Structure 1
Amino acid sequence: MRRRGPAALRAPQRSWLGRTRDAVDAFVRTSPSRFAITVFTGLILLFTLLFSLPVARSGPGTAVPLHDAFFTAVSVICVTGLSTVDMATYWSPFGNLLVFVGVNIGGVGVLTLATTLGLVISRRLGLRAKLLAASDSNPSRLHVGPVAERQAVRLGEVGGLLVTVAVSALVIETTVAVAMIPSMFAAGYDAFHSIWYAFYYSAMAFTNTGFTPNPGGLEPFMHDYWMQSWLMVGVFLGSLGFPVIFALARGWRQPRRWSLHVKLTLTTTIILFIAGAVMYILLEHGNPATYGRLDAGPTIFQSMFMSVMARSGGFATVNMHDLYGSSQLVTDMLMFVGGGSASTAGGIKVTTLAVLFLAAFAEARGTPSMEAFGRRIPRDMLRLSVAVVLWGSTIVAAASIAILQISKQPFDYVLFDVISAFATCGLTTGLTADLPPAGVYVMAFTMFFGRVGTVTLAAALAATTRRQLYKRPEERPIVG
């Protein structure tokens, strides 16, 4: 029998593509959150470079200042909508195309985007990729791992979720754009600009960004309620979250079979929408700079429009600095809450707020567990919700202090724009556009932390997940 030499026993040499795939796979296995943040950071740096090119700026071929290019890249990829320049006139057609492409990429979501890129590299959706995508629909996986309760999206359904992400974005944006084309023609734009503006507005609505492509923004459509209604539809659907869209697409006729996440998201979203509209009607109906000059019908409609946009949409038919202080505070609260989990909206998410209220309600009743819609919510979700709110509040407080020190502007304006940046909303009092470069960078990092998500960021910063095999003696401190 012929014996094989050492050379024959040597393992075959892997190609560079195979080694790259193995390295990416190891990175994902070690820390999915860090992988997602790395992908997101890489996209921001890439778009910063592209926005810095002279071809991206309209007018003379001069380079874009670094702080403006970086801020625009972060705002685009984080689907925020804040800007330090006039988005309608500052950028060339190439720059506007970068904005359109960037918000659609950023709107997919941090973890879903990372999963999609991993799928392209590996050419298959393996178990780890499914776990990564499932964590986008349920952030608790990043914190405590798989849980026993019914999830918004089951592991076996993640492939369908990724398809839903792409299909829903395409169908919704196309539908909204086609519906808005007549409004563009009515405003006096030619055929090319009508189609381009309609698709641009549609993308900004579904991704909850709020950029406007035409000079004057929504001013030509101030009395076009058809146009504004479709903007609200796009923002509302984008803020629900892909897991909710996925569940509704599969069983919208069977609400009893909806998961707890879907029911909490829809219920809390509707409550916030109604409450916000009522508050704007009560607080702004006598303000001559906003709704005081409108009749009852337009006042109700514009209050509804503002209630939708304040939770992450970013479009506005009135100037935010003209709102009364009470209305600005209401807007601050709505922006901080934001939209649904795994959605294009930002904020701490509506399910986080729902869990906190359910915990307070359970404590008031003296019940040992949180319950909603016939389901019990584990206490780990309360810990996670408290952590999200605490980290979010800390980021807002730190950024506000820095901006106050840099700009010396009034506190209410600073707080408004900082919360808008953290919640990736895009509404502004005008403060952001007047900030010096140091303040621009602070706002940019605030947008990044808000879009990446406090849970994902915390998980990424943790080197490893420790499993504690013992319990210390219990002792209750005095609280309250």
Structure 2
Amino acid sequence: MAVSAPGSGVGHEDWLVRRLLRHPVRIVPLGFLVAILLGTGVLMLPPATEEHRYTPFVTALFTATSAVSVTGLVVVDTPTYWTPVGLVMITVLTQLGGLGILTGGTLVVLVVARQLGLRTRLLVQAETAEFGIGDVRRVLLRIGLTMLVCEAVMTAVLALRFAVGYDYPAGRAIWYGFFHAVQAFNNGGFSLYSDNLVGFAHDGWVTLPLAFGTIIGGLGFPALFEATRGWRRPGRWTVSTKLTVWGSLVLLLVGFAVLLAAEWANPRTLGPFGWEGKALAAFTQDAYIRTGGFNTVDVNGLDEASFPLLIALMFVGGGSASTAGGIKVATFFLLAFCIWAELRGEPDVTVGRRRLASASQRQALTVALLSVALVVAGTVTLILLTEGVSYDRALFEVTSAFSTTGLSTGVAQTLPSAGQLTLIVLMYIGRVGTLTLGSAIALNTRRRLYRYPEEQPIVG
């Protein structure tokens, strides 16, 4: 259908909306950018800081980007720098970023108007790409219900524990429980404690609910819905759900075993704990690694052998269409199956009894290679811009920013403005997604009516 240009009888606003609807995925990067800029403006105001003075632009921009991208990286001490106004803004931005600007906006439309037009459905489909337009209303309602139930349960458990176990007043216990519940489900990682969750490493009533909330939020709504609906027949799950659920379980178990073994005798992390404390701290930290952002052990105290594990798990991230970042679990294991099929000389890549489409293979390869390129470029840039930062620490910080994890060795707080801006760009790209951003930039999908002759060049 042709689109009328301004001045041809169609209003400029209507013309712009129709242009956007031709490629609704373009709205996603724009929506996050608007949220970041609005959050930056609020966080710059004096009432948002304890010292009641204007926050520097880069500090406010970094914090807003970290919140919207549900990363959790900080350049200032969260509990001492921000007032309740600033903390509430961070909570709102985290909720919007985790749930999705468009998804959250449509949930508001559903609650207020109780109706959903085709135009809004097209916009939301840019984020819930796994579902058809006719399923969007049902999907959004289930997303909203899942979010409310998970965060309410975590808030209740944490508030009760803070009130009974730590003698917090009722109001403070509820606020602390709610803040951390929102951060956990949305894989944010901001904390109201200067040492994050290190002080609660022995307390399973605090760390376990947050760990399970992080896992649920990081699975992704498509995989979570299908797995809960068809839990009795996992063999009938789609390939995407199988790769996400079973892949997440494999990564969780492998990460737990390696982290426990590497840190078992480390006096700066798990060494002083009993075996139960070691297991608890290792499991919860493992659950937070892939995008949760919380830490129950001192990251700077980790053994050098643990850093490659953390970097790899952060880079993989969580499930598709989830609050997690990274290249996604399904992407990682899809590439693993491609490699396995190639090594065996198989003509097709199969998972279970399903042949994977070549388009999906190209998509996974594109996402992985673009992500590697961004991480390498970001690491080199950070090293060039900052004196005294080692390669492994720079790689860790860049991977954490790009995968929207939020774990940090403290490098972010010592970076100059140029280095912090580098991490801001990586957090934004990591949240929007390399493929989504590329699709948003591309104007049209080209279709050729012809194909060139095939040739097989030498590889390797």
What residue number does 2:310 align with? 331
| Cα contact 2:202–2:280 (8 A) shared by 1 | no
Q: CA deviation at 1:352?
A: 0.2
Identity over aligned pairs, percent: 38
The superposition leaves residues 362-385 of structure 1 with CA deviations (integer Å, 9 ceiling, x where unpaired) of: 112222112223222101111000
What residue number does 1:55 align with? 47
2:85 to 91, 94, 97: 94
Which deviates further from its counterpart, 98-107 or 178-187?
178-187
Matched residue type, 1:104:
Q
The superposition leaves residues 253-272 of structure 1 with CA deviations (integer Å, 9 ceiling, x where unpaired) of: 44344322222110000000
The superposition leaves residues 421-451 of structure 1 with CA deviations (integer Å, 9 ceiling, x where unpaired) of: 0000000001001111111111111100110
The 1:133/1:369 distance shift into structure 2, 3 A limit, reads farther
2:291 to 312, 325, 331: 312
2:218 to 239, 247, 255: 239
Separation (CA, whole Å) in 1 of partners of 2:38 and 2:126: 26
Which deviates further from its counterpart, 206-215 or 25-34?
25-34
The superposition leaves residues 264-323 of structure 1 with CA deviations (integer Å, 9 ceiling, x where unpaired) of: 110000000001011112211121111122222222222211211110011111121211
What residue number does 1:78 align with? 69
1:422 to 402, 407, 415: 402
The superposition leaves residues 118-147 of structure 1 with CA deviations (integer Å, 9 ceiling, x where unpaired) of: 989999544564454344344xxxxxxxxx
2:430 to 443, 450, 458: 450
What residue number does 1:229 align with? 208
| Cα contact 2:70–2:98 (8 A) shared by 1 | yes
Which deviates further from its counterpart, 23-32 or 381-390?
23-32
Separation (CA, whole Å) in 2 of partners of 1:85 and 1:114: 30
Q: CA deviation at 1:469?
A: 1.4
| Cα contact 1:371–1:377 (8 A) shared by 2 | yes
| Structure 1 position 161 matched with structure 2 position 139 | yes
2:97 to 98, 106, 119: 106
| Structure 1 position 25 matched with structure 2 position 17 | yes
What residue number does 1:144 align with? none
What residue number does 1:146 align with? none
Matched residue type, 1:242:
F
| Cα contact 1:55–1:92 (8 A) shared by 2 | yes
Q: CA deviation at 1:54?
A: 0.5
Which deviates further from its counterpart, 289-298 or 173-182?
289-298
| Cα contact 1:204–1:210 (8 A) shared by 2 | yes
Matched residue type, 2:64:
A
Q: Looking at CA atoms only, which structure, 1 or 2, has the larger radius of gyration? A: 1
| Cα contact 2:393–2:409 (8 A) shared by 1 | yes
Matched residue type, 1:335:
M
Separation (CA, whole Å) in 2 of partners of 1:445 and 1:113: 23
| Cα contact 2:185–2:217 (8 A) shared by 1 | yes
The 1:388/1:115 distance shift into structure 2, 3 A limit, reads farther
Q: Secondary structure at the match of 2:127?
A: helix
The 1:126/1:260 distance shift into structure 2, 3 A limit, reads farther
The 1:204/1:37 distance shift into structure 2, 3 A limit, reads same
Separation (CA, whole Å) in 1 of partners of 2:341 and 2:100: 33
Separation (CA, whole Å) in 2 of partners of 1:270 and 1:36: 30
1:364-443 correspondence runs (5 A): 364-408=343-387, 409-443=389-423
Separation (CA, whole Å) in 2 of partners of 1:132 and 1:370: 33
The superposition leaves residues 53-73 of structure 1 with CA deviations (integer Å, 9 ceiling, x where unpaired) of: 0111113x2100111000001
1:39 to 6, 13, 31: 31
Separation (CA, whole Å) in 2 of partners of 1:121 and 1:182: 32
The TM-score with structure 2 as length reference comes to 0.92
Q: CA deviation at 1:33?
A: 2.4
Matched residue type, 1:49:
G
Q: Secondary structure at the match of 1:395?
A: helix
Which deviates further from its counterpart, 422-431 or 127-136?
127-136
The TM-score with structure 1 as length reference comes to 0.89
Separation (CA, whole Å) in 2 of partners of 1:322 and 1:291: 10
What residue number does 1:269 align with? 248
Q: CA deviation at 1:220?
A: 3.7
1:363 to 323, 327, 342: 342
Q: CA deviation at 1:234?
A: 0.5
The 1:424/1:103 distance shift into structure 2, 3 A limit, reads same
Q: Secondary structure at the match of 2:305?
A: helix
Q: CA deviation at 1:101?
A: 0.9
Matched residue type, 2:382:
I
Q: CA deviation at 1:251?
A: 3.7
Matched residue type, 1:469:
L
The 1:165/1:121 distance shift into structure 2, 3 A limit, reads same
| Cα contact 2:198–2:295 (8 A) shared by 1 | no
Separation (CA, whole Å) in 2 of partners of 1:291 and 1:384: 40
| Cα contact 1:197–1:214 (8 A) shared by 2 | no
| Cα contact 2:201–2:280 (8 A) shared by 1 | no
The 1:472/1:120 distance shift into structure 2, 3 A limit, reads farther
The total of aligned residue pairs comes to: 450
Separation (CA, whole Å) in 1 of partners of 2:101 and 2:239: 23
| Cα contact 1:36–1:114 (8 A) shared by 2 | no
The 1:120/1:40 distance shift into structure 2, 3 A limit, reads farther
| Cα contact 2:27–2:123 (8 A) shared by 1 | no
The superposition leaves residues 313-349 of structure 1 with CA deviations (integer Å, 9 ceiling, x where unpaired) of: 1111112121122201110000000000010000000
| Cα contact 2:202–2:281 (8 A) shared by 1 | no
Which deviates further from its counterpart, 270-279 or 217-226?
217-226
| Cα contact 2:187–2:291 (8 A) shared by 1 | yes
Matched residue type, 2:223:
V
Q: Secondary structure at the match of 1:307?
A: helix
What residue number does 2:57 align with? 66
1:90-239 correspondence runs (5 A): 90-109=81-100, 112-113=103-104, 125-127=116-118, 129-138=120-129, 152-185=130-163, 186-239=165-218
Matched residue type, 1:212:
S
The 1:312/1:104 distance shift into structure 2, 3 A limit, reads same
Q: CA deviation at 1:111?
A: 5.6
Q: Secondary structure at the match of 2:355?
A: strand
Separation (CA, whole Å) in 2 of partners of 1:92 and 1:312: 26
Q: Secondary structure at the match of 1:136?
A: coil
